[in-house]
Structures are given as structure tokens and as C-alpha cells.
């Protein structure tokens, strides 16, 4: 009798699964794939837009943390929309890109001022144009536990910077993250390509996800990631079946 019940239950699960397309199960399996979150900061719309075909060619889905939205021209807004339409995440990086620690503790603004002027005012402008960012990156990585806690009322995760030599801090689980520590890959980081590749290898070995931070793509600025480095990353990701996640996806 018990055996019959088990068999019947199993059959029901199979039938339910067929009808639902096993969406739930697929999603769980999918989220456990090791991967990479490639993030770009600031307001470098024109530069990023020019490299959309490159990102498309490697099937990259990246996260763009946007600041100074109030200064975007209509043309830059059109470009941002196109970046979004290519499957990238449009995230938030404050309105004026102030160092938030300095804003409060050095320049003596209140935290309420900070939230109103740098977070809510910027989000409101983006909301009016149909963007609803769910993740945040701190300008200069300047944060503390109190800011993290308050910003969690607005966002699913906040990204600071990994200023240590402990690269493992930037390899995180593929879900449920709240504070991320991105590892810089711009020229200014003075990192070697082989270090960048070895952290990708570590993400793969640990079934985790590495969070990288860049600004421009292949420009003259020291705050830009070289084309060579990006291509090395794309190659490793492809050859090792890593998955591109957005910051929002690993913060669910």
C-alpha cells in the first residue's frame, strides 16, 4: 500500500513537472553554475556603447552602475536604453558620485541628507525614464555597516571594493548576496592578467562567482580595462563554461 502511494506521488510530481516545464528546478540548477559578474561604473555611456558589439560577440551580460544621470544628454539616454535592451543590468552609483563617508563625516551632512540628495533624487530621475535599479555600488567604494544597512531598504545588494590582496573576498556564492566586494581590473589596479585568470579559475573550482569592477573599456584613461584583458576573460569564461550573472541575479 505504502509503495503504491510513493509510486503515485512520484507520478504526480513527474506530471506536475511536465506541465510546469520544470522551470523551478531548472532555475535552481542554473543558479549554481559558477560564473562572473562583470561590472562597469560611472557615466561612460559613449565609451560603453561603442563596445556593445564586442560584449554581444561574447554573449556578455554585464552590470552598469550609473551615476550623474542628471547630466545625460538625450543621445546618451538613448544609448543607455540600448545597453539595457542588449540584456545588461542598469544599476545605481549615486547621483553626484560623492565619497559618502566624506559627505557625512567630513562635510557634516546628515545621513538623511545623503539618502535624499544622493540616492532618492537620482533614483527618482531614473524611475521617470523607466529604470528601476535594484543594486548599488558605492562611489570610491567608501562605505560602512550603517550605510549598508540603510541602503538595503532601497537595494538588494551594495557593492564596495576589494582593496585587499585577499582575492577570495571577491568570489561569492551565486545567490543571496547583500554586500559585494568587487575586484578592480582596470589598468590602475596594477594587476597582472594571470591574476585575473587565476581568480576566475578559483570561482570555477569553488562553484562561486567572481565580481570584477571596471570603468572605461579600452580608453586612454588609467581607469579603463584593456581590450586584451577583456578578451582573455571572455575566452576563459567560454572555455570553462562559466556563466555571466548580473549583480541583481546573485543578490536574489
Q: Which residues bind Zn ion (CB under 5 A)?
A: 41-42, 139
- 88 or 204, CB closer to Zn ion? 88
Question: For the chain, what percentages of helix, strand and coil (3-state, to nearest 5) are there?
Answer: 50, 20, 30
- Cβ–Cβ under 8 Å, residues 95 and 117: yes
Give one word for 61, left, alpha or beta, with left for phi > 0 and alpha for psi -120 to 50.
beta
Measured from the CB atom, the residue of 48 and 234 that comes closer to Zn ion is 48
User: Please, what is the minimum distance in Å from the beta carbon of residue 84 to Zn ion?
Assistant: 19
Own/partner pairs, 79-86, CB within 8 angstroms, 24+ separation: 79/45, 79/46, 79/48, 79/49, 80/45, 82/49, 82/52, 83/45, 83/48, 83/49, 83/52, 84/131, 86/52, 86/55, 86/56
Least CB distance to Zn ion at residue 250 (A): 20
Nearest to Zn ion of 64, 236 (CB atom):
64
**Rounded least distance, CB 141 to Zn ion, Å:** 9
Nearer to Zn ion, 41 or 216 (CB): 41
The distance of closest approach from Cβ of residue 124 to Zn ion in the complex, given in angstroms and rounded to an integer, is 20
Running DSSP on this structure, what letter comes out for residue 207? T
Q: At its nearest, how many Å lie between Zn ion and the CB of residue 140?
A: 7
CB 224 within 8 A of CB 214: yes
Residue closer to Zn ion by CB (options 135, 174) is 135
Relative to beta strand 209-214, strand 224-225 is: unpaired
Amino acid at each position: 500500500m505504502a509503495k503504491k502511494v510513493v509510486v503515485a506521488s512520484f507520478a504526480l510530481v513527474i506530471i506536475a513537472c511536465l506541465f510546469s516545464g520544470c522551470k523551478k528546478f531548472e532555475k535552481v540548477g542554473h543558479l549554481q553554475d559558477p560564473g562572473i559578474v562583470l561590472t562597469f561604473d560611472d557615466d561612460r555611456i559613449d565609451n560603453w556603447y561603442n563596445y556593445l558589439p564586442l560584449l554581444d560577440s561574447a554573449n556578455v551580460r554585464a552590470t552598469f552602475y550609473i551615476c550623474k544621470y542628471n547630466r545625460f544628454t538625450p543621445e546618451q539616454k538613448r544609448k543607455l536604453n540600448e545597453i539595457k535592451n542588449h540584456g545588461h543590468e542598469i544599476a545605481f552609483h549615486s547621483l553626484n558620485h560623492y565619497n559618502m563617508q566624506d559627505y557625512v563625516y567630513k562635510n557634516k551632512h546628515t545621513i538623511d541628507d545623503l539618502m535624499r540628495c544622493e540616492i532618492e533624487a537620482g533614483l527618482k530621475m531614473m524611475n521617470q525614464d523607466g529604470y528601476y535599479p535594484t543594486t548599488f555600488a558605492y562611489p570610491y567604494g567608501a562605505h560602512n555597516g550603517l550605510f549598508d544597512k540603510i541602503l538595503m531598504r532601497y537595494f538588494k545588494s551594495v557593492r564596495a571594493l576589494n582593496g585587499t590582496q585577499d582575492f577570495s573576498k571577491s568570489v561569492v556564492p551565486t545567490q543571496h548576496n547583500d554586500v559585494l566586494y568587487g575586484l578592480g581590473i582596470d589598468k590602475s589596479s596594477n594587476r597582472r592578467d594571470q591574476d585575473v585568470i587565476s581568480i576566475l579559475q578559483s570561482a570555477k573550482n569553488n562553484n562561486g562567482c567572481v565580481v570584477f569592477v571596471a570603468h572605461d573599456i579600452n580608453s586612454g584613461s588609467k581607469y579603463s580595462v584593456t581590450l586584451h584583458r577583456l578578451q582573455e576573460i571572455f575566452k576563459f569564461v567560454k572555455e570553462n563554461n562559466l556563466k555571466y550573472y548580473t549583480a541583481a541575479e546573485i543578490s536574489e
